[in-house]
Amino acid sequence: MPDPTDDTPRDPLALDYNGWLFWQHATPEQQQAQLRRQEGILRRAKGAIGERTFISELAMVEPTEFTLGSDSYVAAHAYITGTVNLGDDCTVNAFTVVRGTVTCGDGVRIGAHTSILGFNHSTAPDRRIYLQASTETGISIGEDVWIGSNVVIVDGVNIGSHAVIGAGSVVTADVPDWAIVAGNPARFIRDRRAPRKAGRHELAAALRDFGATAREQVGAIIARSWEPDALAADGTSPGRYVDAPGSQATLRAHADAVELSMLLTAEPPRQLTREQHIARLRENQDPATGLTPLLVDQRHAEAPSGFDDGSAHYHVLSLGYALDLLGSRFEHPITAVEQYSLDEIIAVLDGQPWKDMGWSAGSGVDTLGTALLWNLRIGDAETARRQANVLIGWLLANARRDTGMWSAPRLSDGMLQVVNGYYRAVRGSFAQYGLPVPYPERVIDAVLDHARDERHFGPGRTTACNALDIAHPLWIAAKQTAHRNAEIAALAQRMATETIARWRPHEGFAFRVAPLGGPQTDEHRPGLQGTEMWAATLWYFADLAGASESLGYRPAGVHRPEPAFDLSER
């Protein structure tokens, strides 16, 4: 009886198809013949072949330049021509074609029936196809790459190290390091370094549990940011809201408390009655400009001089939407904007710092667009409607065709200002008025590229602002196109999972994710702003992943997904 532990090949062609067995099981005669074959190849092509390497006699190997590193093999019926340089521990399996200029690092595994074509043909109409001139850009493949069976990789593609190419894929674009891609054309599936994500059902369960926990604890989280003995702006008590214990009292903190409580409980924070909340948020609005100044030493500062005084801009959003959630509104329209002529609206937009400070420019648009929203409701609606039309028209006319955004990247921080400014500008315009954004596919490309920037999304390096500024643009653009939707869903699921893990029981979320060494600044400790922003951002990630219904809440204030006003209504 044959020994079941003896794996010596019996078929005479077995070693040609299973090259990894050659140097273990080949006879001395076969080994000498293999070395002569390698010498013959190198007489016809310059290059080098490493030790313990095997090239099947049944493979067609006729390159002009050829390097094959140690412990590599080329199996039967492979077809290799051109300038081909492969590293150590590389495998070219049966019926695989490698032609043109192709370079691979160490540890590249190429599945059977794959075609890696580092050249192409022109298609000019002046001659028949077989007479066309060839072009050759070349293909570069990093190290530690797995290429499945029946894959096609076309000329000009660069595949990063540690990538995985799924079986049957057609790779027409560059593949980044660590990426797992698949499909025709190949699309990003996930980052190989990330643990394999639980399915949507597991994410849904985690979101359900988080939503229940957040609703249970939100009262205590808001209460820890309430200072009952702090003076009101008019010098009276009771109390003021701070972002976190020990912070200065602000109207922004009060608005965040309202947003958070209404988001999770549909009721105002219990420290004040609904009427008291409304009175606090409306007090000291400057009737001449409609703007509300900041608090200084728990009292309001001097009234803003006009819209160009940016210190009070965010109150247009935070106080306005908090009042809206409470069933109220500003007492006065935003006169600082209402008085602008249409030419002055254009001048305001032209005057934003688009070139160097995209976030500030986007913030200016957000404030302008939201001021118009309140004026449409309580001011001169026809004037506000004309101003809104000019605002939208300017944004459409000035959107960049390469990214769909309005600023250019900077060497210092890449796309950070561009994407963050885009979110703010779109939130106050296209999103707030329910209008489609221009160039949605380019927006998605730009945001996904930005989301890979380790400077802003590496371990311990992101903020609630940065996360929201990728979640919302992806969400609004994905409503218009299916472009890269699998990649968006994968990113959203990872970000949602990571967000849930950062919840601090009975304290909420910190605005800024603490570095690996632990919290270092006030922004690393939980507060109202971080909790409100991360809770809303989590909804967007969950919705992109197809599981938002499990949270049990839906943003309704500043971060509402629905339009706040339909400009087409008369």
Cβ-contact 278, 272 below 8 angstroms: no
- CB count, 10 Å around CB of 339? 14
Compute the average pLDDT of residues 188-194.
Answer: 80
Peptide bond into 4 cis (omega under 30): no
Q: Catalytic residues, which ones? A: 121
Percent of the chain with pLDDT over 90: 77
Q: How confident is the model at residue 549 (pLDDT cuts 50, 70, 90)?
A: very high
Q: Please name the residues in contact with 184: beta carbons below 8 A apart, sequence gap of 6 or more.
A: 168, 169, 170
Element (H, E) at 83: strand 79-86
pLDDT averaged over every residue in the chain? 91
> In the predicted model, is pLDDT for residue 469 greater than 60?
yes
DSSP lists the bridge partners of residue 437 as none
CA distance 349 to 362: 10
DSSP lists the bridge partners of residue 86 as 68
For 410, phi then psi, to 5°, come to: -120, 150
Cβ-contact 252, 321 below 8 angstroms: no
Per residue in 84-141, pLDDT tens?
A: 999 999 999 999 999 999 999 999 999 999 999 999 988 888 888 888 888 899 999 9
Domains in the chain: ranges and CATH: 14-191 (2.160.10.10), 197-219+442-560 (no CATH), 224-332 (no CATH), 339-438 (no CATH)
Element (H, E) at 563: none
Report the candidate in 552, 379, 378, 544 with the shortest Cα–Cα distance to residue 477. Answer: 544
Report the candidate in 112, 122, 118 with the shortest Cα–Cα distance to residue 98. Answer: 118
CA distance 149 to 153: 12
One-letter amino acid for residue 179 of the chain: A
- CB count, 10 Å around CB of 23? 17
Q: Using a cut of 0.75, tell me whether the model's pTM lies above it.
A: no
Per residue in 387-431, pLDDT tens?
A: 999 999 999 999 999 999 999 999 999 999 999 999 999 999 999
Q: How confident is the model at residue 299 (pLDDT cuts 50, 70, 90)?
A: low
Scan for tokens 């998605």, then name that residue: 444
Per residue in 361-384, pLDDT tens?
A: 999 999 999 999 999 999 999 999
Q: Cα Rg for the chain, rounded, in angstroms?
A: 31
Residue 125: strand, helix, or coil: coil
Q: How confident is the model at residue 298 (pLDDT cuts 50, 70, 90)?
A: low
What is residue 195's predicted lDDT score, i.e. its pLDDT?
A: 62
For 211, phi then psi, to 5°, come to: -55, -40
Per residue in 160-178, pLDDT tens?
A: 999 999 999 999 999 999 9
> In the predicted model, is pLDDT for residue 273 greater than 90?
yes
- DSSP structure class, residue 210: H
Per residue in 558-568, pLDDT tens?
A: 999 999 999 88
What is residue 2's predicted lDDT score, i.e. its pLDDT?
A: 43
- CB count, 10 Å around CB of 421? 27
Element (H, E) at 140: strand 139-141
CA distance 162 to 194: 13
